[in-house]
Amino acid sequence: MLDGREGPAVAMAMRIVVALARLRDARRLRPVASAHLDGCLHHGQAGLDFVERLVELGGQVRIPTTLNVGSLDLLHPNLARVSKSDATESRKLMDAYVALDARPTWTCAPYQVGHRPSLGEHVAWAESNAIVFCNSVLGARTDRYGDFLDASAAITGLVPDSGLHLSENRRATLVVDCGGLSDELKSSSVLYPVLGYLAGRVAGTEVPVFTGLADARPDEDKLKALGATAASAGGVALFHIAGVTPEAPTLAVALGGRSPHEVPTVVVDADAVRAARNSLTTALGDDIDAVSLGTPHFSLNEFRLLAELTIDGDAFDPSTEVWVSTSRAVLGQARDAGYLDPIEQAGATILTDTCTYVTPVLKPGTRVVMTNSGKWAYYAPGNIGVDVVFASLAECVASARVGRVVHDDRIWR
């Protein structure tokens, strides 16, 4: 491939893969079965020049490849407040990735639109929440790919055989003991981004294994929220939950032969989760201007839950914007299932193909936003300069109805 016999785009992509393999001391390259690319967000001219060069040189992905969010909602182009020139650049970037023959899924949750590699399969995924979900929940193997390397892997079908592709790097290196938390907390969705925040803080880029959660049988949405927040607050790319995730049927298996005494243990109690929950909130008062849901992108099941909460209640306060970010594929499923009507009738706006913290959609003057997303709570203050109130989905809905924060603290006591 390096010699150009497969074309100049493959040679360019291969130079990048090989350079990274050298840097990581990889003994060899490894074929990957699929890719998820995260280059579609506009960060200046170089990102666009890179993909346009690949297209110009005849580049095509050689494995099934999905695309992450872009900077625009192509289905609802009037929602984002971007200048015409920025919109043009963002559109060119998104178009160039499609020209590589990648699927225009425009979602940070490819695992919700049918891109689900199997246990043990090697893939090249970018976007931190997608990476951690792929490794932890699906048990497929990806290292932390990102800008330039993701597209190079999709074009060559090869990655350096290093990092989380190797079994020895997938063993848990830290135990997070959640056994002391109440059953009510463990069965509630709002706990999982909080656990992710705690784990991200203590684990950094280590591999944590959670214990004491097997009986609660957390579903995919909870695992998605845990991973996304752990990847934001730390650099977690793989976690295990003993008795729940595929590479951790037991604690012993997750530890890969080491005894629990050989690795550090962090005990998470009610005080710790309460403190972590509070630190995800930066706003001081009770006023809110908006509610943002769907980071990572809302799943069909989350639309069902939101529909149940909105179908028989009052509409949202007209001064409180309610945003739900999702993929165009899940939007279609939610519409077909009848979940969308009550949500839109209550006053929510659905954003597709992008997300509320990467492109300006909130109305000017928005100061405080409520969210059930730990990832959104972590990034939005820095990215778009708002204060955040972190709470459960039900609290977000109750608050949107009255235009101020309504907390339900019972489970945290």
Partner 1 sequence: MTTESGVELTGMTLHPGSAAGSLLRLDAPLSFWGGSELETGRITDERHPQWGVIMAGRILVMHSGRGSSSSSSVLAEQIRAGVSPAAILLSEPDAIIVLGAIVAAELYEKSMPIVLLTHTEIDSLTEVIPVQVEATTGDATVRGVVPAPAALTVERTSTR
Contacts with partner 1, residue ranges (CB under 8 A): 12, 15-16, 19-20, 23-24, 38-39, 41, 43-47, 49-50, 53, 126, 128, 144-149, 382-383
Q: Which is nearer to partner 1, 121 or 147 (CB)?
A: 147
Q: Which is nearer to partner 1, 146 or 360 (CB)?
A: 146
Q: Which is nearer to partner 1, 8 or 256 (CB)?
A: 8
Q: Which is nearer to partner 1, 21 or 178 (CB)?
A: 21
Q: Which is nearer to partner 1, 54 or 334 (CB)?
A: 54
* Distinct helix (H) and strand (E) counts, the chain: 15, 14
Q: Which is nearer to partner 1, 323 or 378 (CB)?
A: 378
Could you tell me the two tokens for 280?
């995800």
Determine how many CB atoms are found less than 10 A away from the CB of residue 85: 8
The Cα 63–Cα 50 span in angstroms is 19
Local structure of residue 389 (DSSP, 8 states): E
Min separation Cβ 131 and partner 1, Å: 10
Min separation Cβ 377 and partner 1, Å: 16
Min separation Cβ 39 and partner 1, Å: 7
The Cα 276–Cα 197 span in angstroms is 7
In contact, 222 and 372? CB cutoff 8 Å: no
The Cα 323–Cα 225 span in angstroms is 18
Determine how many CB atoms are found less than 10 A away from the CB of residue 305: 17
Tell me the one-letter amino acid at 371. T
Min separation Cβ 118 and partner 1, Å: 25
The Cα 72–Cα 88 span in angstroms is 10
Min separation Cβ 368 and partner 1, Å: 20
Min separation Cβ 291 and partner 1, Å: 24
The SS3 call for residue 83 is coil
CB-hemisphere CA count at 13 Å for 338?
2
